[in-house]
Amino acid sequence: MSKKKIVEYVSELARIRIDPQEKECLGNQLSRIIDYIDKLKELDAEDVIPMRGLHIERNVFREDKAGSFESKKSILDNAPLREGDYFKIPKVIE
């Protein structure tokens, strides 16, 4: 797959518009990132213990609290597909 096609694919997934003149630059940057990841795959990490984080002694997340949101329209306007006041998604289960 060409660099341009990869950039177009990623921008479609992220739902962002990219100018044609930016595609070449972003393609080169993305290619360098992928090359670096391929280089990391060559490392022998068999005896390395996976880390979950450095500071796990306490939960730093806030408690979930239900609340109201006044601008449902602004959220629905970002949906690629919608039906009335709901997100519409492709059928994934037969």
3-class secondary structure per residue, the chain: CCHHHHHHHHHHHHCCCCCHHHHHHHHHHHHHHHHHHHHHHCCCCCCCCCCCCCCCCCCCCCCCCCCCCCCHHHHHCCCCCEECCEECCCCCCC
* Higher-pLDDT residue of 53, 15: 15
Q: If pLDDT is split at 50, 70 and 90, which confidence band does 39 have?
A: very high
Instruction: Write down the pLDDT at residue 56.
Output: 64
* Higher-pLDDT residue of 55, 69: 69
**What distance in Å separates the CA atoms of residue 82 and residue 90, rounded to the nearest whole number?**
11
**What distance in Å separates the CA atoms of residue 20 and residue 2, rounded to the nearest whole number?**
14
Give mean pLDDT, residues 70-74.
82
For domain 1-44, is the CATH number 3.30.2000? Answer: no
User: Which range is most confident: 37-41, 61-65, 76-80, 89-93?
Assistant: 37-41
Contact 76, 85 (CB under 8 A): yes
